[in-house]
Amino acid sequence: MTAYLIKNVSVVGAAPTDLLIRDGVVAQAGAGLSAPDAVVVEADGLVALPGLVDLHTHLREPGREDAETVESGSRAAALGGYTAVCAMANTSPVADTAGVVEQVWRLGREAGLVDVQPIGAVTVGLAGERLAELGAMADSAARVRIFSDDGHCVADPMLMRRALEYVKAFDGIIAQHAEEPRLTEGAQMHEGEVSTRLGLTGWPAVAEEAIIARDVLLAEHVGSRLHICHVSTAGSVEVLRHAKARGVRVTAEVCPHHLLLTDEVIGGSGAGAVAGSGEPGSPAGRSYDPVFKVNPPLRTATDVAALRAALVEGVIDIVATDHAPHAVEDKECEWAYARPGMLGLETALSIALEVLGPEWDLIAERLSRAPARIAGLSGHGVDPAPGVPANLTLVDPAVRRTIEPADLASRSRNTPYAHMTLPGRVVATFLRGEATVLDGKAVK
């Protein structure tokens, strides 16, 4: 196994030091290290972070390999600084049995670019009618611990209660896509001033907030673990703050696009499209561009500000990408027929830097340590130090790069950040000491 000597790197923003990676671990750390047999990585000005961990990735395989495969999604993840991703269950067939989650897990191992941890479906076929084989998936080779019908809400409160009760036995987690379906029928974007102006059916904030309020009460009653996917409204933040103050075992994620973009981008004017930016038209967009269609939808600047504050405060625990690749025909069509979702793996760290600034400890916590703890991923989310598994990424914070869809490793091109200039570039990523990215390029 190749040894690597990383010279003059700042570990999570600390004073520059050297790191020697050997036999899958950080063997030594300190100034002036030498190792004649090691490949030297000059890291002046670079920051070493624990490998990023994504709790919410859509890899599309099996079933939609035209949009993404486990291998192509894993490559995109490594280029984004990730060493582990959790793959959502809405594949075809749905990951609702031990056989399907083991297939995804094995495909991840074969790719060898990141650790792929499957998420199992809560209900059979994501239909919301009866529980899937939760126990069998938990006992499978994939050792599933998180279950989600993401893309669909577990709307039946009795079914949600039973799911929470079931996974409590093995300290599992139900990850909820919070959307009351009767309030979002036919919805196309956030319900508000912009939707009225554009004549599109609105997706009200209360549809998210009502489900979160219900489910934190159910989790409190059962004493089980609940995770809220892609929180998008200021009201949801307040519900979560109240629940955490009461000791409910709830965690929550926010997506990069909900931290940066607002519903104004859909109108095509550009003014106010990037929260906190005075640059009109920062995302190069046109009116009704389906690349900005996502579920939950882009919200208002007020919501974005609340989400940013909650992320810093810790009311929202992590940043998760909701990386959702789509084939061309599913995005380059009329708005009403377009599939919701955006790419995220290769740009999430840059968005975090744009929103949070170079707060390296906070970035490490929200994009690596906390998601690894929630998912129970041993060896991930640990700052580089002697004896620690060498799962880490090197970032150049001085670079500002322009996002070009054709340059992305994903099989799909539906990034909402096309032609935007964002801070930070991943220079290298290591998975258990093996380089998956060097000089900003995938090794395999």
pLDDT exceeds 90 at position 277: no
263 belongs to an annotated ligand binding site = no
313, amino acid identity? E
Contacts of 182 (CB under 8 A, 6+ apart): none
152 belongs to an annotated ligand binding site = no
From the candidates 96, 322, 330, 396, which is the catalytic residue?
Answer: 322
For the chain, which residues make up each domain, given as ranges?
Answer: 51-381
326 belongs to an annotated ligand binding site = yes
Q: What is the mean pLDDT of residues 27-50?
A: 98
pLDDT exceeds 90 at position 305: yes
pLDDT exceeds 50 at position 372: yes
Q: Express each pLDDT in 190-239 by its tens digit.
A: 999 999 999 999 999 999 999 999 999 999 999 999 999 999 999 999 99
341 belongs to an annotated ligand binding site = yes
Check residue 269 and give its pLDDT. 61
> Which is it for the CA torsion 429, 432, 433, 434, positive or negative?
negative
8 Å CB contact between 115 and 377: yes
Dist CA 98 CA 101 (whole Å): 5
Catalytic site includes residue 322: yes
Task: Give the residue from 177, 192, 270 showing the smallest Cα distance to 227.
Answer: 177
pLDDT exceeds 80 at position 419: yes
Dist CA 333 CA 341 (whole Å): 14
184, amino acid identity? T
Fold of 51-381: TIM Barrel (3.20.20)
pTM of the model: 0.96
Q: How many helices (H) and strands (E) does the chain have?
A: 14, 19
257 belongs to an annotated ligand binding site = no
Q: Express each pLDDT in 40-98 by its tens digit.
A: 999 999 999 999 999 999 999 999 999 999 999 999 999 999 999 999 999 999 999 99
Q: What percent of the chain has pLDDT over 90?
A: 95
How would you class 405 by CB atoms within 10 Å of its CB: exposed for 0-12, middle for 13-18, buried for 19 or more? middle
323 belongs to an annotated ligand binding site = no
150 belongs to an annotated ligand binding site = yes
Dist CA 253 CA 178 (whole Å): 12
Contacts of 160 (CB under 8 A, 6+ apart): 154, 174, 176, 214, 215, 218
Q: What is the mean pLDDT of residues 302-320?
A: 98
